[in-house]
Amino acid sequence: MTAIALAIAGSDSGGGAGIQADLKTFSALGVYGATIITALTAQNTQGVFGIHDVPADFIAAQMDAVYSDLAVAATKIGMLSVPAAIVAVARGLDRHRAKNVVLDPVMVAASGDPLLRPEAIETLKRELIPRALLITPNLYEAAALTGTPLARDEAAMRAQGATLIALGANAVLVKGGHGEGAEAVDLLIERSGTRRFAAKRIATKNTHGTGCTLSSAIAAGLAKGKALGDSVAAAKEYVTKAIAAGTDLKIGKGRGPVHHFHAVWPAN
């Protein structure tokens, strides 16, 4: 059977993040991708210049259309900027008994522009964190979700992951890409223990869409029947190679995208 993954997220008109990055990732990893659009953004490599939210009832209609017809094996959730959209997605997940849900709690774009309204944070914590198999916050998102200072070491990352599990999360991947040091370290925190995933930190400005890409790659692995830890390990390897290859991409004037198809076509 064809592996199918669904991305519920916003559209990035510049093509580097959001739904566009999700579909590229699914395709690169051999998974059929379906989409639910939650917002349109006027966006490029330099910033986000406008957000147009899709009405909650139309988000629900998209979910009903996709889940009622396609055998969705994993669902990745990205940008949800307003409380009504979050609630609509949560109710849709329940209606269709969605499985293998990966929640990327997108709060800020790589450019620094906000993508999640402050009043939506509590709704996200209440409605979606308990419904996800895995949540994938970066250091800034983990700090915002837990109400604690930015983690400066792995002990603090583990503590924030434990706090999120206490809030109802099944598993948490705290991503250390925004940290310092020679290695970019991600920690997978579960009730049964913690796994460490490390890769050499790459000096590049082409990091637009890395969070979207990683969470989509994890969902792709789950859709193909891989265990959670194996999906995270494969996704980390894929994203690391995409970041390395992305240093040669000449796209835009700001933070360029990673190279999703690095294994298929050359960067130049």
**Catalytic machinery residues:** 175, 207, 209-212
Q: State the DSSP code for 16.
A: S
The residue with tokens 């890395």 is 210
Phi-psi region of 147 (alpha: psi -120 to 50; beta: other; left: phi over 0): left
Residues 6+ apart with CB under 8 A from 130: 167, 168, 169
Rg over alpha carbons for the chain, rounded to the nearest Å, is 17
Q: What whole-number distance in Å separates Cα of residue 42 and Cα of residue 34?
A: 22
> Beta-carbon neighbour count of residue 49 at 10 Å?
11
Q: Amino acid identity of 204?
A: T
51 and 117 in contact (C-beta within 8 Å)?
Answer: no
Q: What whole-number distance in Å separates Cα of residue 222 and Cα of residue 245?
A: 25
DSSP class per residue in 168-193: T-SEEEEE-TTS-SSEEEEEEEETTE
Give the Å distances, CA to CA, from 14 to 19, 147, 218: 11, 32, 23
